[in-house]
Amino acid sequence: MNGSFALRPARPEDAQKIADLLHGYATEGVLLDRSAEDILFYLKNFTVAIDPAGELLGCMAVRDFGNDLLEVRSLAVKPELKRIGIGRQLVNAAIDRLRQERVSFRLFALTLQPGFFERLGFVVVEKELFPEKIWHDCVNCPKQHCCDEIAVIFEHTPAAE
């Protein structure tokens, strides 16, 4: 892999590949498992990284909780391709898109890799700031009572005039 890849919105034919990529990380306890059917239902939330031959290299979803609160979800890159910038470009593309679409927003993630997000301008915060997330997803998580994830947030607000 020479580092050549493109980002694009996910398509229906990507759903099973995304599910397979996420499943590998889910078995390690890093991400929540998601079925191809679930991914298809939320397909508009996904962006994928693909190589010139169209092979899926990575993915990420952004979930909108309303009130300008959004979450980075299902961020995954093929293990052998980590550290070449795919994850960074997926997150930065989401931030750029949100800056164009919204006056202000708060983009958060629950992660085992807070340093990755801090390098992209996120700051560590308390998980309890996101009750929407806790009640929706955490209730189904096997780590619910022993969560080891760290909350990070990127806040964009209009510059003071």
The answer to whether 78 and 57 are in contact (CB under 8 A) is yes
Q: What is the pLDDT of residue 1?
A: 44
pTM value? 0.88
Q: What is the pLDDT of residue 134?
A: 54
CA distance 128 to 23: 27
How is 26-81 classified by DSSP, letter by letter?
A: HHTTSS----HHHHHHTGGGEEEEE-TT--EEEEEEEEEEETTEEEEEEEEE-GGG
Nearest one of 119, 129, 120 to 151, comparing CA atoms:
129
Q: What is the pLDDT of residue 140?
A: 58
The string of pLDDT tens digits covering residues 110-156 is: 998 999 999 999 999 987 777 655 555 555 555 555 567 889 999 99
Confidence category of residue 107, pLDDT binned at 50, 70, 90? very high
Read off the pLDDT of each residue in 11-26 and give the average, rounded to a whole number. 97
Confidence category of residue 109, pLDDT binned at 50, 70, 90? very high
Averaged confidence pLDDT in the chain: 88
Q: What is the pLDDT of residue 4?
A: 87
